[in-house]
Structure 1
């Protein structure tokens, strides 16, 4: 269980996976995740209150970087490598529905680590359309309300 959310609607299958290393739940992987990452290792109950339960984050999905099936100190090196070498930009401009991957990976830390928005969500469709509109509504509560209204809450 890596936290992937599967949704079948109108003949399409959507797989929404948590962004590995996004410990603060803002939809980005960058230097703003460091404090939440440390908290998740040192005080799991507090992390659950501040981030996990609040944003519906699956710690195994975002933290098991070495893919051994558990989140623990053996994931530290891999997470640090992701934060330094593969940070993701925040905000709508970095995410498109069809591509499913943020553009300009690695620019956040080299650009001073400034966040340009509240985060983004990338969704991969099983059959990609030609209409690759940018995701403009990154409000997580609204996003999950819409997904669960259309698909129900099905976890994989």
Structure 2
């Protein structure tokens, strides 16, 4: 017995990424690493400071540009990476460096804060496997 799926249900399934041609994650090359040049873990920083980002075994390309072995940076502030199969949110806790920047100036309130880097593909989706730094803690004066 065959069942017919109404068109609007099939469209919702595709939009939700639940099948019928869901996109595969962009692969990352072996040995790809993203890391902090500055700041380093457990350092004290002023309220306004510059984050400098390093990347090995991959290149940087702006969001929307499809080029093998490239991506763009996302800085996660006081949050966890979340679902690595979905686009990285764009809010206070998820800073998108979609123009291909490798540094960003942050202003944070005094106290401890966690920072983590996550590389996204042309569509802001983490690569597979994800190219992600260790989470570091900075102490804002």
TM-score class, shorter-chain normalisation, is: under 0.3
Tell me which protein shows more strand as a share of its residues: 2
Tell me which protein shows more helix as a share of its residues: 1
Tell me the TM-score normalized by structure 2.
0.28
